[in-house]
Amino acid sequence: MALRGKLILSGAFAGLILVTGCSPLEDANNGKGYAGKADTPAFETGGGQYTAGGFKAGDKESWQETLNVRAKAQNEYVRTGDSAKAQ
| 66-78: pLDDT as tens digits | 888 888 888 887 7
In whole angstroms, what is the distance from residue 63 CA to residue 54 CA?
Answer: 8
Entry pTM: 0.41
Answer with the residue of higher pLDDT: 78 or 83. Answer: 78
In whole angstroms, what is the distance from residue 47 CA to residue 29 CA?
Answer: 30
Q: What is the pLDDT of residue 85?
A: 65
Q: What is the pLDDT of residue 81?
A: 74
Q: Taking 70 as the threshold, does the pLDDT of residue 87 lie above it?
A: no
Q: What is the pLDDT of residue 10?
A: 93
Alpha helices in the chain (DSSP H): 2-22, 60-73, 76-80
In whole angstroms, what is the distance from residue 51 CA to residue 41 CA?
Answer: 15
> Each residue of 1-46: pLDDT tens digit?
688 989 999 999 998 888 887 777 777 777 777 777 777 777 776 5
